[in-house]
Amino acid sequence: MLSDDESKLLMEKYIKSMADNARSKLEKSKKLIEHFTQVAASNGVMLDLDAFSYIQTIGIVATAPGLANKLLNITPSERDGLFAYSEIAQRLPPNRFLEGYFVGKDYMLMAHPCYRRCMHPMANWAPRFVDLFWRFDSPNIKKFIAIDEDRVRINVDRSAYREKDTWYGAPFNEDIGKIKNGTIKLRPSLDLESHCIINDIFAQTYCLDIKWSEANQIKTFQALEIKTRDIQIIADDQTYFPARYLHAEFDLSTGYFRHFDGAIQFFTEEEYLRRRNSDFNITFKNHEHIKARSKKVFKLNGSLNVDSWVEFCCHFFTANPLTFEYFTGAYPEYVTDTVAKVRARLL
């Protein structure tokens, strides 16, 4: 086993190696960078060399405020800021084998960073929501997506960073109309809280809140996945605790979901600590509670069947066994086995 000093030295060597590799990649991409600089300038965006970086999980990336929006020149929805998938696809055809990208002649548009592992902009795509969304095609449904507004990839090729792990959806056969209205709060077992299993097996999830309600033959679903405190992002020099949120409307008269959308809610530390031990019955619209900031990241309008809805839910909450538990009544087998082994060691 390595000592602390040896581990530190090894990490320093790794970081230096990554930095050297990035510099080498950028040096070899000089002509590509020069060309894209001209493309950006023709669209009113002036870039210098500091705007370009090499990210191992993505490629050569150009970054500037609103860069993708200016290049795309398509107006998103004023209401939620989403882009019609089909409208982007007419300009920049998506590649079914290169999920998360719209491919143009001089650059590749990317899906929003919230779809990356731990919602980190440097990470690879989390399995497998983006892949599922890119491949999903139904004549009865219109797709809307949030894009990475400030970044584009400029090496236009089929290179991709592949990771072997994946995540599978849960089987679900329940009649939506018979689901009881009310709130549910799912959490990893309390006896496991102080162990790394929360990070390794429960995808750093603190809890999963679910609510069903009904009015005028429409049954409404809401779900909020709250992560542990170490999942944070910085925006406008402010630290936020991001939480994935889903909302869907099921038409009892047709037996299909008529609307389905997802968002990221951003809690301040005070809001996060207050919300994680509450449920959907708490409101954020009075003087005691602050409404969390929110960014909608996808939307499906039309007639969505229950199987597709379940699959999208499971993959939006990537690798979260609590989602599987909600839909099936039990953890996936590998989680049950791991939990049993951990508990055996604690006895």
- Condensed to tens digits (0 to 9), the pLDDT of residues 132-145 reads 999 999 999 999 99
Q: Does 8 fall in a domain?
A: no
Confidence of residue 171 (pLDDT cuts 50, 70, 90): low
pLDDT of 286: 45
Angle value at C-alpha 327, between 325 and 332, nearest 5 degrees: 40
Burial of 268 (0-12, 13-18, 19+ CB in 10 A): middle
The answer to whether 179 and 219 have CB atoms below 8 angstroms apart is: yes
The answer to whether residues 183 and 255 belong to one domain is: yes
Please give the mean pLDDT across all residues of the chain: 87
pLDDT of 97: 79
* DSSP element (H, E) containing 262: strand 256-267
The answer to whether residues 20 and 103 belong to one domain is: yes
Q: What are phi and psi of 107, to 5 degrees?
A: -165, 165
C-alpha span between 308 and 317 (Å, rounded): 14
C-alpha span between 307 and 315 (Å, rounded): 13
SS3 content of the chain, % helix, strand, coil (to 5): 35, 30, 40
Q: Domain limits at 316?
A: 176-346
The answer to whether residues 40 and 116 belong to one domain is: yes
C-alpha span between 159 and 200 (Å, rounded): 29
pLDDT tens readout for residues 94-127: 987 789 999 999 999 999 999 998 899 999 999 8
Confidence of residue 172 (pLDDT cuts 50, 70, 90): confident
The answer to whether residues 331 and 197 belong to one domain is: yes
Number of domains in the chain: 2
% of the chain at pLDDT higher than 90: 62
pLDDT tens readout for residues 85-98: 999 999 999 987 78
Q: Does 7 fall in a domain?
A: no
The answer to whether residues 236 and 102 belong to one domain is: no
The answer to whether residues 337 and 268 belong to one domain is: yes
The answer to whether residues 81 and 210 belong to one domain is: no
pTM of the model: 0.88
Name the residue among 116, 123, 122, 108 with its Cα closest to residue 68: 108
